[in-house]
Amino acid sequence: MAASSSFLSTASLSNPKSTISFASSVSPAPIPSLRRVVFRSPSSRRRVMTIRSKIREIFMPALSSTMTEGKIVSWIKTEGEKLAKGESVVVVESDKADMDVETFYDGYLAAIVVGEGETAPVGAAIGLLAETEAEIEEAKNKAASKPSSSAVVPSPPPATSSPAPAIAQPSPAAAASDGPRKTVATPHAKKLAKQHKVDIGSVAGTGPFGRITASDVEAAAGLAPTVTPPPPPPPPAAAPAPTAKATTTSSPPLLPDASIVPFTAMQSAVSKNMIESLSVPTFRVGYPVNTDALDALYEKVKPKGVTMTALLAKAAGMALAQHPVVNASCKDGKSFSYNSNINVAVAVAINGGLITPVLQDANKLDLYLLSQKWKELVGKARSKQLQPHEYNSGTFTLSNLGMFGVDRFDAILPPGQGAIMAVGASKPTVVADKDGFFSVKNKMLVNVTADHRIVYGADLAAFLQTFAKIVENPDSLTL
């Protein structure tokens, strides 16, 4: 908000005269141009008519997408020196490099607010620029009156190869010491705390000897712990997140003996997918299916190596062939993406993980091939040898907890798919037929979760009806 209006875009360069810049500052480029000093008027921002902008603030530019603060390496110009447009004024050290920062105004460097070797957050005023010599004094007063406010932060430990031995190592741990218990935080924990703006002193340490570990900080910041995060932490978290996250920093401390086990790669993938799934509007439709015929068929084909998973996947595949919308997905929120293949992913639990090997063309392959394929996939999944296309090409997912006696459950729709089917146990159930005769039939409850942007209630009902028909007359499965 304020950013786009107060930052001056490069486009307005051609209008060097003060006031115009603020009128044009609503122009496209939202990010201040790199390598340029960014200016803003110290006085009211939007009122075009305030011609008080002759003294401008020079503020810390964002030199990279991950930069949150910068250190002044050196001021190339001294106070009172005349500046010409395009001249380098100051050298700023970011997390990536040292860069000369140029001015795009003529004028005088009136006051240096943040001195050499000091650090300021991106956007903080680091100096004042006066348009005329006469205004230098005024600018100086201005600088003196605002005692560098938020700008001057003494160089924090990991940021730089600091020249001054005095500030060599006021490690946060030391500073906070002399309490009942000294705070000990690991190097990574300290870095994360800084990155996510978590006050390390408020974090409860659960690591060895009560030290604060990276996962403690992540928990405090409300983040899912990451497995072996790659050296350069991905930028997105840095900029927008902190404000939102800051409120959640004081999450309830862990119980004393709780242990923290970081996610494996597979677990973090699951976690990520599950969070992503929240952005899709889903709904559920359940359906009871009579499985007497299916059970009979299963008994017959079992010796030939056919599994129940293959039977269900085949049935689902055949039903999907008749209801392509359930096999579709919604990629952009604007259109249906109809998949040409019917690839049934089947959720499998493997020691502490969850993966969905995919039976491709489940509607076309015969039962025996499907069963064979399935065995192969499960073997690969156990030995972690699945190729990406073998677990991420699904167009529909099947999840079966029937073997545990679960009678019904509710599945979360995986991102990128239109529907997922949750299959419960097949149980002998007393049913009354239309003539009022009671009988006992094996019934299983099937519950499908679907993306309501593309699949509507009637679609799902029709699909389930077809599925039930196939299962109840399973001869077609063996064709």
Partner 1 sequence: MQSAFSLSFSQSSLTLPNRPLCSPNAAPRNLRFCGLRREAFGFSPPKQLNSCRFQVKNRRIEVSAAAGGNGAPSNKSFDYDLVIIGAGVGGHGAALHAVEKGLKTAIIEGDVVGGTCVNRGCVPSKALLAVSGRMRELQNEHHMKSFGLQVSAAGYDRQGVADHASNLATKIRNNLTNSMKALGVDILTGFGSVLGPQKVKYGKDNVITAKDIIIATGSVPFVPKGIEVDGKTVITSDHALKLESVPDWIAIVGSGYIGLEFSDVYTALGSEVTFIEALDQLMPGFDPEISKLAQRVLINPRKIDYHTGVFASKITPAKDGRPVMIELIDAKTKEHKDTLEVDAALIATGRAPFTNGLGLENINVATQRGFIPVDERMRVIDGNGKLVPNLYCIGDANGKLMLAHAASAQGISVVEQVTGRDHVLNHLSIPAACFTHPEISMVGLTEPQAREKAEKEGFKVSIAKTSFKANTKALAENEGEGLAKMIYRPDNGEILGVHIFGLHAADLIHEASNAIALGTRIQDIKLAVHAHPTLSEVVDELFKAAKVESPASTTPQSVKAAV
Contact region for partner 1 (CB under 8 A) — 6-14, 32-40, 163-171, 369-377? 163-171
> Residues in the chain, how many?
479
Cβ neighbours around 375 below 10 Å, total: 14
Helix (H, G, I), strand (E, B) or coil at 216: helix
Nearer to partner 1 among residue 81 and residue 199 (C-beta): 199
Nearer to partner 1 among residue 390 and residue 459 (C-beta): 390
Query: How many helices (DSSP H) and strands (DSSP E) are in the chain?
Result: 13, 17
Q: Is 230 in the site for partner 1 (CB under 8 A)?
A: yes
Q: Is 351 in the site for partner 1 (CB under 8 A)?
A: no
Q: In the bound complex, what is the minimum distance in angstroms from residue 236's beta carbon to partner 1?
A: 12
Return all residues near 283 (Cβ < 8 A) that are at least 6 apart. Answer: 449, 450, 452, 457
DSSP string, 347-407: -EEETTEEE--EETTTTTS-HHHHHHHHHHHHHHHHTT---HHHHS--SEEEEE-GGGT--
Nearer to partner 1 among residue 264 and residue 478 (C-beta): 264
Helix (H, G, I), strand (E, B) or coil at 59: strand
Tell me which of 11, 48, 84, 174 binds partner 1, using CB under 8 A: 174
For 1-9, which contacts have Cβ atoms below 8 Å and span 24 or more sequence positions? 2/45, 3/30, 3/123, 4/30, 5/45, 5/46, 6/40, 6/41, 6/45, 7/31, 7/32, 7/38, 7/40, 8/32, 8/38, 8/39, 8/40, 9/33
Nearer to partner 1 among residue 50 and residue 268 (C-beta): 268
Q: Is 3 exposed, middle or buried (0-12, 13-18, 19+ CB in 10 A)?
A: exposed
Q: What are phi and psi of 181, to 5 degrees?
A: -140, 135
Tell me which of 112, 143, 214, 365 binds partner 1, using CB under 8 A: 214
Query: Do 360 and 340 contact (CB within 8 A), yes or no?
Result: no
Q: Is 91 in the site for partner 1 (CB under 8 A)?
A: no
Tell me which of 152, 159, 238, 239 binds partner 1, using CB under 8 A: 159
Query: Do 304 and 375 contact (CB within 8 A), yes or no?
Result: no
Q: Is 171 in the site for partner 1 (CB under 8 A)?
A: yes
* Residues 7 to 46 in contact with partner 1, rule: CB under 8 A: none
Q: Is 296 in the site for partner 1 (CB under 8 A)?
A: no
Catalytic residue among 188, 323, 389, 452: 452
Contact region for partner 1 (CB under 8 A) — 35-43, 92-100, 327-335, 419-427? 92-100
Residue with tokens 């249906």: 336
Binding string to partner 1 for residues 177 to 196, with x set by CB under 8 A, is what? -----x-x-xxx-xx-----
Q: What are phi and psi of 46, to 5 degrees?
A: -95, -15
Q: In the bound complex, what is the minimum distance in angstroms from residue 196's beta carbon to partner 1?
A: 15
Query: Do 217 and 193 contact (CB within 8 A), yes or no?
Result: yes
Q: Is 163 in the site for partner 1 (CB under 8 A)?
A: yes
Nearer to partner 1 among residue 16 and residue 201 (C-beta): 201
Tell me which of 96, 300, 331, 382 binds partner 1, using CB under 8 A: 96
Annotation says 196 is catalytic: no
Binding string to partner 1 for residues 244 to 273, with x set by CB under 8 A, is what? --------------------xxx-------
Closest to 105 measured CA to CA, from 24, 3, 8, 25:
8
Nearer to partner 1 among residue 108 and residue 391 (C-beta): 391
Q: Is 209 in the site for partner 1 (CB under 8 A)?
A: yes
Tell me which of 179, 208, 405, 436 binds partner 1, using CB under 8 A: 208
Tell me which of 36, 45, 211, 245 binds partner 1, using CB under 8 A: 211
Query: Do 327 and 418 contact (CB within 8 A), yes or no?
Result: yes
Nearer to partner 1 among residue 178 and residue 433 (C-beta): 178
| Residue 440 CB-half CA count within 13 A | 3
d(CA 243, CA 144): 30
Q: Count interface residues toward partner 1 (CB under 8 A).
A: 40
Nearer to partner 1 among residue 209 and residue 404 (C-beta): 209
Query: Do 302 and 462 contact (CB within 8 A), yes or no?
Result: no
Q: In the bound complex, what is the minimum distance in angstroms from residue 109's beta carbon to partner 1?
A: 26
* Residues 378 to 407 in contact with partner 1, rule: CB under 8 A: 384, 388
Active site members: 452
Binding site for partner 1 (CB under 8 A): 95-98, 157-159, 161-163, 165, 168-169, 171, 173-174, 182, 184, 186-188, 190-191, 207-209, 211, 214, 227-228, 230-234, 264-266, 384, 388
